[in-house]
Each structure stands twice: as C-alpha cells, then as structure tokens.
C-alpha cells in the first residue's frame, strides 16, 4: 500500500540523509565540526586523528609546538584507558574570514558525562581558548591556552 503519507516520507528521509551527510558550509559549522572531530579524537584516544587537527605552525604561550602538543596528548591517552569528554562552546569569533577564536569549557572523566549530571562528575574541568586557522580548506589549531575551571564555566551566559 502506498499512502500519501508514505509517498511524502521517502523524499523527507532522503533530504534528511543528504543534509546529515553534507559537508558543513558556513565557517561556524566547519569550526563546530572541527570541535566535534577533536572531541572524538580525544575520546577514541587517537593520537593520529588528534595530530591531524593541529597545524604544523602550532605554537602556544608555553612555546610548545605541534610535536610537543601531540606527545602531551599521547601521554594523556596512555594514562587514561577510558576518556569521556563533554564540551560547551561559549563563543566563536572570526576576526578574519580564515581565522577563528573559540572559547570552550571542557570536562574530561573516565565515565560518561551528561549536561544534567555535570555537577556530580569526578573528572577535570578546563577553560580552553583556541585559535583555528583555515589552511588548504581545513581548519587547524594554531594556538591554545588552557587552565583549570569550575562548573560555572558550563553555565549559559
């Protein structure tokens, strides 16, 4: 049987699939995808995927370069057999078309983290300030600053 509702459902499903599989189009969508990819790399403890998100030109206030940052990530991954992350994007600002400044609150723990249970998480909370630059159609991390944060970093402003 082919009802009018069923005939409408197929094109709707196709649109949803196409929309879900399409590449992000706006710079903000692309930066949000970078953030999702970074969270996935951390949770999967995947040093290669993590390193692919960092620019060869990376340099931070501690004079760390990409190699040192990647080694730090590898060490963290080795120390933690299970990593769960929860992020709250506070702001995304584009001072130039190919440059993004991103403020993110991040929580990491060895158990799953959800917004409603954030207050009872036994993990670490961080405030991240990231600078991403679009290089060859890819957004890459060029600078990062992080510090310990409290639960208030996750509140809506």
Q: What is the pTM of this model?
A: 0.81
Q: Which fold has domain 26-154?
A: Nuclear Transport Factor 2; Chain: A, (3.10.450)
pLDDT in tens, 86-97: 999 999 999 999
Residues in the chain predicted with pLDDT less than 70, given as ranges, are 1-24, 157
**Kind and range of the H or E element at 116?**
none
- Residues, the chain: 157
Helix locations, the chain, DSSP H: 4-21, 27-43, 47-52, 66-79
Q: Give the pLDDT of residue 43.
A: 96
pLDDT in tens, 45-77: 999 999 999 999 999 999 999 999 999 999 999
């Amino acid at each position: 049987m082919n009802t009018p509702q069923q005939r409408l459902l197929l094109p709707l499903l196709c649109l949803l699939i196409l929309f879900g599989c399409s590449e992000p189009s706006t710079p903000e969508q692309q930066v949000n995808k970078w953030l999702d990819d970074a969270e996935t790399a951390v949770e999967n403890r995947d040093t290669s995927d993590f390193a692919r998100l960092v620019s060869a030109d990376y340099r931070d206030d501690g004079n760390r370069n990409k190699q040192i940052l990647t080694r730090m990530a590898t060490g963290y991954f080795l120390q933690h057999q299970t990593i769960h992350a929860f992020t709250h994007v506070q702001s995304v600002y584009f001072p130039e078309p190919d440059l993004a400044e991103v403020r993110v609150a991040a929580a990491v723990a060895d158990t799953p983290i959800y917004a409603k249970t954030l207050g009872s998480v036994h993990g670490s909370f961080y405030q991240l300030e990231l600078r991403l630059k679009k290089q060859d159609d890819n957004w890459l991390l060029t600078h990062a600053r992080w510090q310990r944060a409290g639960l208030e970093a996750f509140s809506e402003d």
